[in-house]
Amino acid sequence: MDLLRLPDVILYEIIRKESSFERISELRLVCRKFDQICGQVLNSEFNSLCKNVETLFREIRKKMPRRESNRRKHSLTKQFDCLETLDMRLKMLQLSFDKPIRRKLCCFFPGSILDETNRILRKIRCDNNQSQSNSYDDFMIEELFDQSTMAIEFFRENVEPLFSPMYKKDSSGDRIEEIAPKPSRSFSKCEDLSSSSRSLAIESSCSSKTTASNRLDILSERLIAIETKIDRILDELNVIKNSFYINRQNLSGTCSNEDRDVNYELPRKKPKLG
């Protein structure tokens, strides 16, 4: 039976029942259709994991005491620490993968991170004897930390530069250089309109129109690159600001439950054409 002749919905369910997401990420190399379906599976699982971890983290955080001294002695301390680290790592991954995934430029290809995250969540939900699982949970958190760090570095060094083939980032990362072909040289009008001069005039008018369209494309690509960089910087600042606000609440222990769920975000301004 040829799997490629099956509808996409059925093929999606067949691939979704694969043993591990790391194996699903490897199946993307089979063909273009497998690449598309496996990418949808990986993206769906990544988005659902981010929501599930955030929801579970908020539920456990509401059960924890406000005082830091009492929180260290609570029975849910280990789960709280694991989910806090897990939530932070997933947010860092979202900063790198979220926009390219929404623009359908790539998928969440590190499937081993999804397997490790599911393993940690099952351990938190099912294991009741925390004294015997502390070392095992620490090992899993450390493994997830290393895998996510390598995935982010690989994405920014090898995958992200491929999104804009007409541009490349400078080694400093602050300047964007154009590698687009230079516009063709315009030809001046000749007084004698011979057959050759007419052809040159036609070519020059066509090249001027092509040059104008190329300039508009270059300008739009530059605006998209600048907007993406500004959004990524603002997202990183928001994550740092929210983590600092949570740590300050943990130290003070005097705020209400409504104030603990407040997220402060920096205003975003999109570049405008003058």
Non-local (6+) Cβ contacts of 271 within 8 A are 223, 226, 227, 230
Q: Is 268 exposed, middle or buried (0-12, 13-18, 19+ CB in 10 A)?
A: exposed
27 CB neighbour count, 10 Å cutoff: 16
CA distance 191 to 197: 9
Given a cut of 80, is residue 86 above it in pLDDT? yes
pLDDT at 137: 62
Pick the closest to residue 104 from 173, 187, 158, 35 (CA basis): 35
- What tens digit of pLDDT does each residue of 11-37 get? 888 888 877 888 888 888 888 888 888
Dump pLDDT digits (tens) for 135-185.
Answer: 456 777 888 888 888 988 898 888 888 876 544 443 334 433 333 334 333
Rounded to the nearest integer, the mean pLDDT of the chain is: 71
Domain definitions of the chain by residue range:
1-163
Could you give the CA distance from residue 59 to residue 73 in angstroms, rounded to a whole number?
18
Predicted TM-score (pTM) of the model is: 0.56
Which of 58-72, 75-89, 198-212 is most confident?
A: 75-89
